[in-house]
Amino acid sequence: MNKLIAVILLCLVSPILTLVSFFIVIVDGFPIIYKQKRSGQNNSFFTVYKLRTMKKNTPELATDKLNITSFYWGATFIRKLSIDELPQLINIIKGDISFIGPRPALHNQFNLINQRNKLGISLLKP
């Protein structure tokens, strides 16, 4: 059911994704999609897809460690509306994540991954 809903939603939001993709290219160039390694169910790693909202060559840090200068013009608006998260519908279609579940940890958040292992959270699909 998750996959069917994700396909329908992806079709519905594709005009928004197209417009925002053009905006990203005009403001900051390619790439449009940001790929990031995340820890998933049973500690398996997968690639999460997002619209890029940070300037090129920004170091890979947790969101709370970033500063406002890491974002290109207009990116905070895209984030505020969570438009940058829409490509994760592809992850749902692929079966990497579901609509409801724990937020997938960054591959380098070792303390968080260890805590989730102890609590059994890593057994759940993000």
pLDDT 10s digits, 44-68: 999 999 999 999 888 776 666 666 6
Where residue 21 falls among pLDDT bands split at 50, 70, 90? very high
The β-bridge relationship of strands 45-51 and 33-39 is antiparallel
For the segment 91-120, what is each residue's pLDDT rounded down to a tens digit? Answer: 999 999 999 999 999 999 999 999 999 999
Output the pTM of the full model. 0.89
Distance between CA atoms of residues 92 and 31, nearest Å: 22
Give residue limits of the domains in the chain.
2-123
113-126 as b/e, with b when 16 or more CB fall inside 10 Å? Answer: beebeeeebbeebb
Determine how β-strand 105-106 pairs with β-strand 33-39. Answer: antiparallel
Facing residues of 33 across strands?
A: 51
